Amino acid sequence: MDINVPEVKVPRIVIVGCGFGGLQLAKSLHKAEAQIVLIDKNNYHTFQPLLYQVATAGLEADSIAYPIRKIFKGQYNFHFRWGEVQKIIPAENRIVTSIGELKYDHLVIATGSTTNFFGNKDFEDKAIPMKSVVEALNLRSMVLQNFEKALLTTDTKDLEALMNFVVVGGGPTGVELAGALCELKRHVLPNDYPELDFRKMRIILMENGAELLASMAEGNRDKARKYLEELGCEVWTKTGLAKYNGTLAETNNGKQLLTLNLIWAAGVKGVLIDGLLPTCISNRGRFFVNDYCRIKGYDNIYALGDVAVMISDKYPNGHPQVAPVAIQQAEMLGSNFIKALKGWTLNKFDYFDKGTMATVGRNKAVVEVGKIRFGGFLGWFAWMFLHLILLVGYRNKIVVFINWVWSYFNYDRNIRLIIRPFNRK
Amino acid sequence: MDINVPEVKVPRIVIVGCGFGGLQLAKSLHKAEAQIVLIDKNNYHTFQPLLYQVATAGLEADSIAYPIRKIFKGQYNFHFRWGEVQKIIPAENRIVTSIGELKYDHLVIATGSTTNFFGNKDFEDKAIPMKSVVEALNLRSMVLQNFEKALLTTDTKDLEALMNFVVVGGGPTGVELAGALCELKRHVLPNDYPELDFRKMRIILMENGAELLASMAEGNRDKARKYLEELGCEVWTKTGLAKYNGTLAETNNGKQLLTLNLIWAAGVKGVLIDGLLPTCISNRGRFFVNDYCRIKGYDNIYALGDVAVMISDKYPNGHPQVAPVAIQQAEMLGSNFIKALKGWTLNKFDYFDKGTMATVGRNKAVVEVGKIRFGGFLGWFAWMFLHLILLVGYRNKIVVFINWVWSYFNYDRNIRLIIRPFNRK
């Protein structure tokens, strides 16, 4: 059965996914003479850069998740449908979803990325990912549950496994998460569990490459490492995870470690949808698109953001998988849709790199904007400021700000709640 | 195996449950020469009076749930253990729990109450309860999911079932929930679902008795009904639910109604623990206690709050099952423990009734304090003020205050998130 969407005379643009890209595109089309149908498997947009704070009990989910319908209140050409897209039938201009089928005139795939375990079944089953609100809440529960369990054991091996934390992947997510765990160890958990000896809690950040934050400049990479080590994090570079059975982690350079807390932040892959030609999919699981975000081999199917790879002279491996790329591609695509309706010439995508930043703990961050690089407290302040500006919704900005101020002056994390008990798969 | 708790020379008081009573008791004992072990199946205390706002997307769970360990930070005679108590073995002064066994010198049962379906299996399976954070989050998801589904259907019967809401039970919970649903209908949902005709959304409050809020004075009962009807709620008094199969509700006076949204707020029963004599349990599922909260037939086992029933001349059926009773009993019991350790005379329980209140929608409430009765906007303001004061934690007070102010001036409810999808049993 077809999804119940009003039949209109203007073209129907179907957008799959309401991450940074899908959200921006639907907004950019608010004046377009087109019907916009946005489909997402969640009824909210997730501000992913702050997921790690949900996972570490600093923010509640509602602070970084925003109801999609609320964003588009009053945009009359817009229709949201809550469902999962299962398949594209390009020959019929039709998609198959969990809530029915739907015809499109243009289809935009903005499904983003998900955790990449690179085919390792053990890692997928046993390691903890953190790419969605649900996963972040699970991680929060896991951390708290394991400390509750640590109280009950007298076995030293069990205690080691419960109190060792391993974060795999030294990109911004891994660095920020490891920093937040160090803060929990220093300021929060010892108050909650006075019966435990927190000198025994280890936080290890594991990175395959030679350095953390590979995409940043050298000075900043060193700084991030220094900040983390000052916080008590063990940084293991040139070290990959070789095996993990849920209890014992083994590295590719022969180290062994008991841990029930292994968090995987070592890579992402695009969230593909079935039905398109295999030739339009890269070996990293992304759709090849041209300078206009059109998928190779199709006239009216597009992809943008993390799920798209646009090869250019400047970016021979595609653009970095970060929010600004998705947003700028969405702006480009949105304005091109409007131009096409009017018969005007289309613009090619040209990425404007606004810079990159990562925060470490409660007072430090590294920031790069073009040639300008800074860190420390100033960097941290810039990081906070920017994330508050970018958060969707004024209420969320206020609530997050209060939580941050509160946590900062009280050395505290308030949301230490096990509402959704964690169960290992 | 025994739960790992330090062995000390002072008596061990085990408290089961961290609701209003258990929480207050553990606090009252902060200077007692005793070891306090508190066991709860959640790691947080729930501020139950505001659960209905979590269920109706006004507040996030963290605003009304507070980590137990944080409350007792620095109370050195206090130990929290996260687990569920399964059985008492009074002959051995021992309890059996999901995390091991534990000896006690004194045992206090403060497990509170849960939804009472009065033995009706259909109601238990098909109606939605709202007595815990998890249930409130499920209810929030159900409401939102059913509107998402309403968009997809063209069948009038389906639409009716999706858009009819029935609240069973005209006590404070039912009244407050029905009022909040009316506000959602008036101010929030029409913006979110412009494609739906909200004149078709019905909210029905069903009460077996002749009037709403039976425990309040007559003037206030009428006011509450008037307020609700002004908000668009249909109030069906002298009407009980006879049958419900998940879709069709039938009343005991012959009415029929299609609804997928039937919320049960029609009664509670004590959360009992196995192992005590049947003679100490009332037919409403509560432990009979004497004036000192000691359970009939036992020297060192106590019950307080909703799970206890204390018969007196003034309260021949026991005290009302409300937070102030639990809190005052906990204060009495706490000071009696300390007195007993010193060999002093114990105090009997004497309930000081501070009054009762219920809010209806965004501007109205009914309040009774002794002979003083008032309502309307002043009542609503008093209700808000008191609940803010009573909430645990300054951060929670601030966040709730901001949410209320925000919602008030924007006619909005922010937390319209389906993070934990609702699945009917």
Examine the pLDDT at B3 and tell me if it is beyond 80.
yes
Of the candidates A176, A183, A207, A368, the residue annotated as catalytic is: A176
Task: Count CA within 13 A, CB hemisphere, residue A282.
Answer: 20
pLDDT band at B425 (very low <50, low <70, confident <90, very high): low
What does the pLDDT look like over B81-117, one tens digit per residue?
999 999 999 999 999 999 999 999 999 999 999 999 9
Identity at B285, one-letter amino acid code? G
Give the one of A148, A398, A420 whose C-beta lies nearest to B43's C-beta.
A148
Residue A371: per-residue pLDDT: 86
Distances A253 to A206, A207, A277 between C-alpha atoms, Å:
12, 12, 40
Distance of CA B229 to the CA centre of its chain: 25
Residue B412: per-residue pLDDT: 85
What does the pLDDT look like over B286-337, one tens digit per residue?
999 999 999 999 999 999 999 999 999 999 999 999 999 999 999 999 999 9
Closest-CA residue of chain A to B71:
A192
- CA of A35, closest CA in chain B: separation in Å? 14
The mean per-residue pLDDT over the stretch A390-395 comes to 87
Do A399 and B395 make contact, defined as CB atoms within 8 angstroms?
A: no
Higher pLDDT residue, B363 or B266? Answer: B266
For B45, the token pair is: 């205390």
> What average pLDDT does chain B have?
94
The mean per-residue pLDDT over the stretch A223-230 comes to 95
> What average pLDDT does chain A have?
94
Residue B120: per-residue pLDDT: 95
The mean per-residue pLDDT over the stretch A396-402 comes to 89
What does the pLDDT look like over B47-91, one tens digit per residue?
999 999 999 999 999 999 999 999 999 999 999 999 999 999 999
The residues, any chain, with a CB within 8 Å of residue A416's CB and separated by 6 or more, are A57, A144, A188, A192, B43, B44, B67, B69, B70
Question: In order of start, what are the domains of chain B with their CATH numbers?
Answer: 12-115+269-342 (3.50.50.60), 121-266 (3.50.50.100)
Give the one of A67, A74, A154 whose C-beta lies nearest to B4's C-beta.
A154
Do A417 and B65 make contact, defined as CB atoms within 8 angstroms?
A: yes
- Spell out the long-range contacts of A344-353 with Cβ–Cβ below 8 A and sequence spacing 24 or more: A346/A292, A348/A291, A348/A292, A349/A291, A349/A292, A349/A293, A349/A310, A351/A314, A351/A315, A351/A319, A351/A324, A351/A325, A352/A324, A352/A328, A353/A324
Residue B1: per-residue pLDDT: 84
Give the ipTM of the model, two decimals please. Answer: 0.91
* pTM of the shown model: 0.94
Task: Count CA within 13 A, CB hemisphere, residue B409.
Answer: 6
SS3 A223: helix
**Residues of B with a known catalytic role:** 176
What does the pLDDT look like over A244-302, one tens digit per residue?
999 999 999 999 999 999 999 999 999 999 999 999 999 889 999 999 999 999 999 99
pLDDT band at A392 (very low <50, low <70, confident <90, very high): confident
What is the C-alpha separation between A189 and A412, in angstroms, rounded? Answer: 9
Examine the pLDDT at A425 and tell me if it is beyond 70.
no
Do A61 and B65 make contact, defined as CB atoms within 8 angstroms?
A: no
Token look-up 């050195």 returns: B76
